Amino acid sequence: METITLNNIEIPKLGFGTWELKGNDGVKAVRDALQIGYRHIDTAQAYDNEEQVGEGWKKSDVLREDFFLTTKIFREQFETKEKAVKSLEESLEKLKTDYVDLVLVHWPFPEYKIEQLIEPVLEAQDKGMTRLIGVSNFTVEQMQQAKDISDNRICLNQVEYHPKLNQQPILDFVRENGWGMTAYSPLGRGTAMDEGVIKDIAETHNKSQAQIVLRWLIQQDNVLAIPKSSNPDHIQSNFDIFDFELTTDEMDQIMQLRSENDRQVDPDFAPQWDKAA
């Protein structure tokens, strides 16, 4: 498993996303992922599945200290710092753990100042509820504000990223500041796999298109990826990307697909996204 080290803590670059995985399917998917070998699980309060994630890891027989766990605090919880911290306590109960490894501010919610979003996660870290703190869906300007407010304790931004979305401004910032960038929707909800260049590279390596895209992501500096699936075969195949490497030319060919407007996630409350040059 390839890893990245942020603030002296090692994180597997390939994680397992759990958005939309609920009920028994969610429990089984998390259990299967951990048994296959994933050691990084990503969830969120807004996914309404923290209990299933907790049950899934308990059924996997993997020790809590042997995998990296992320959750995210959602919108209404930031009305006060106390409410946000309390909500994380409730998340820990659902996840059946005393701590998470990373807690994220889920969005730069427009009704709150950045300080109101960052101060609760700082307190949660001070209380030992999380080992690392970060943000999600923040722009470069907002990342800089978060960095300054947190005295460099924020260390990661989770954003949509795949071969058809150019996130170079975010990438430049995280690399310059020693942060990580986690790619959600890493397959572009399936759209990225339809490109001819990816099909050709997949044939060259005798791999699936999804495996090529995930390999392209984790070969990039400071980039992590969290594909999700409820299909056991897909969960396995998404994990089987550590027995080959893409060449520099193949990496560049896929880079040429990036477009700054093929965004799959863009709610009404999203910030004004950075434009790639």
When pLDDT is cut at 50, 70 and 90, the band that residue 198 belongs to is very high
Choose between 62 and 275: higher pLDDT. 62
Angle at 158 between CA 50 and CA 205, to 5 degrees: 100
Note the pTM of the prediction, 2 decimals. Answer: 0.97
Tell me: the pLDDT tens digits for 127-174? Answer: 999 999 999 999 999 999 999 999 999 999 999 999 999 999 999 999
At 195 the pLDDT is: 87
Tell me: the pLDDT tens digits for 47-80? Answer: 999 999 999 999 999 999 999 999 999 999 999 9
| Mean predicted lDDT score pLDDT of the chain | 96
Average pLDDT over residues 234-244: 97
Tell me: the pLDDT tens digits for 6-35? Answer: 999 999 999 999 999 999 999 999 999 999
Tokens standing for residue 120: 């609760």
* 69 phi, psi to nearest 5 deg: -125, 130
At 11 the pLDDT is: 98
Instruction: Using the predicted structure, report yes or no on whether residue 5 has a pLDDT greater than 90.
Output: yes
Instruction: Using the predicted structure, report yes or no on whether residue 95 has a pLDDT greater than 80.
Output: yes
Tell me: the pLDDT tens digits for 261-272? Answer: 789 999 999 999
Q: What percent of the chain has pLDDT over 90?
A: 94
At 270 the pLDDT is: 96
At 193 the pLDDT is: 81
For the chain, list the domains and their CATH numbers.
Answer: 9-186+220-231 (3.20.20.100)
10 Å Cβ neighbour count for 62?
Answer: 19
The residues annotated with a catalytic role in the active site are 47
Question: Mind spelling out the 3-state secondary structure of 18-35?
Answer: CCCCCHHHHHHHHHHHHH
At 75 the pLDDT is: 97
CA torsion, ordered 76, 71, 271, 257, to nearest 10 deg: -150
Instruction: Using the predicted structure, report yes or no on whether residue 277 has a pLDDT greater than 90.
Output: no
CB-hemisphere CA count at 13 Å for 229? 18
R_g of the chain, CA atoms, integer Å: 18
Instruction: Using the predicted structure, report yes or no on whether residue 1 has a pLDDT greater than 90.
Output: no
**b/e per residue 175-198 (b: at least 16 CB within 10 A):** eeeebbbbbbbbbbeeebbebeeb
